[in-house]
Chains A and B, each alone.
Chain A
Amino acid sequence: EAQVTQNPRYLITVTGKKLTVTCSQNMNHEYMSWYRQDPGLGLRQIYYSMNVEVTDKGDVPEGYKVSRKEKRNFPLILESPSPNQTSLYFCASSRRGNYGYTFGSGTRLTVV
């Protein structure tokens, strides 16, 4: 089944403890992207990648890192999480060109 898989689905962590949210797609898509969703603020893009080793900032990149070492994976790294990064996170991927994005099921992160 074609899908975008995020792990974990739920995570509670403490301030300052480094964490990684993984994202993997099995559709050979070139484009991948990370979003966060907060009440009243909608979906906001964190980082995106248009190919292996090509990443760029979205609207809210502060406090996050990403890497794209292989086509299928696009992990989101929080080096020193803070409570204001408590949010619902989505990863998405798309074929290059005019195709819709496929989104993962989300990761609900709580930083205490």
Chain B
Amino acid sequence: DAKTTQPTSMDCAEGRAANLPCNHSTISGNEYVYWYRQIHSQGPQYIIHGLKNNETNEMASLIITEDRKSSTLILPHATLRDTAVYYCIVRPYLFGNEKLTFGTGTRLTIIP
């Protein structure tokens, strides 16, 4: 069973904020939320991760709901280069196993 669910596809206008949702209703207390993206058939690229607090880095912001059952990745000013498939996964904290399920992600298209 998938640990996360994401919309299949989304569009966003260039220059606007892209908000990508992810549902992880069965997340356990020792699991982090990680986001990656994949441009064309390149290797996926790590974006950001968080446990329960909101996080921000130079690429994006991550908002996790208080109950931790869902999260939103925010690309504040989307550019054409942000067109990619975005994956949300859950990953055990520190000493858990590394069996990870990526799923099919959300295909984000930035519209000029």
Contact = CB atoms under 8 A, between A and B. Distances in A.
Interface stretch (B11-19, B35-43, B60-68, B70-78): B35-43
Contacts, number: 68
The binding surface of chain B is classed by DSSP as loop
B43 A43 contact: no
A43 B102 contact: yes
Given A42-B105, A88-B41, A33 B100 contact: yes
A104 B90 CA distance: 21
Contacts of A104: 43
Interface in A1-54: 4, 31, 33, 35, 37, 40-45, 48, 50
B81 interface: no
Contacts of B98: 31, 33, 48, 50, 56, 94
Given A88-B41, A100-B36, A45 B46 contact: no
A55 to B, nearest CB: 10
Contacts of B97: 48, 50, 56
Contacts of A102: 46
Interface of B: 32, 34, 36, 38, 41-47, 49, 87, 93-94, 97-105
8 contacts: A33-B98, A37-B41, A45-B100, A45-B101, A56-B98, A94-B98, A103-B44, A108-B41
Interface of A: 4, 31, 33, 35, 37, 40-45, 48, 50, 56-59, 88, 90, 92, 94, 96-98, 100-106, 108
